[in-house]
Amino acid sequence: MKHVPVFGSLQVVLLFCIISAPVTAQLSVGIEGGYNKNYLVTNNANRAFTYYQPLSSFSVGIPIQYRITDWFAVAAAPGFIKKDYRQQRGDFYIGVFQDNSNNYIQLPLMGHFMFGGKSLKGFLNAGVYGAYWMSGNVKGKMANILDLIDDPATGGSVYSYQQPYVYDEKYTFNSVKDNRIEFGWVAGVGLEYSFKSRYKVFTEARLLYGFTDQQKNYSLNQVPRYNNTVGVNAGILMDVKKFKK
């Protein structure tokens, strides 16, 4: 007897479930926004007393859902997101820091799985995203090696010997080093509540796990840098069109 691959069998079962579902397809569009923290994942072992901290920021988007069955929809959420972080130094260099504020336009594409009652449902999202690094800003404080203190204090920090230099400026992209295209995985879990037959309010906890380096491959043995972003979103969706089977 001919062997049927397991993957092919699963595809057939999923297709049968979608085709036989007793609901019409539904298109919904809305708006969402929320709070996030971005973590820069990298190895800073080559820089003494240096570490990275997440910074609080926000995102806004336009969620779009095409519901195929009572339990499954295809979802997208084009929008704007800030992915900010701080480079902090300690020990002798305490007080030296730089805040990186990075602005992205982003498009997550997800499978949206629903479960629960008629009005109140839980949901899971899973998929991929693409993003484009539009612009950035850097601000911080560092020691100015060209502005020494005439009578330095004993011990203390680097500011005991050098005057601080404060800066706040637009980030200038380097076409050789900066990789402005980002791809990654996206996953979320949340709750939604339906009312007046066509509106849904929702809240979701979401993880964006980047797998592309912020830098191009421009040197030997370079240390990769990835964005990992966690956040909480809330929004509203409105059913705009039904598609009869």
State pLDDT tens for residues 115-125: 998 899 999 99
Q: How many CB atoms lie within 10 A of CB 40?
A: 22
Residue 4 confidence (pLDDT)? 42
If phi over 0 gives left and psi between -120 and 50 gives alpha, with beta otherwise, what is residue 49?
Answer: left
One-letter amino acid for residue 15 of the chain: L
* 11's tokens: 């595809």
pLDDT class for 135, splitting at 50, 70, 90? very high
Q: Identify which of 55, 45, 57 has the alpha carbon closest to the alpha carbon of residue 98.
A: 55
Count how many Cα atoms sit within 13 Å of the Cα of residue 233 in the half-sphere of its side chain.
Answer: 30
For tokens 């988007």, the residue is 61
Domains of the chain: 21-133+180-243 (2.40.160.20)
pLDDT tens digits along 9-56: 444 444 444 444 445 689 999 999 999 999 999 987 777 788 999 999
CA distance 134 to 60: 15
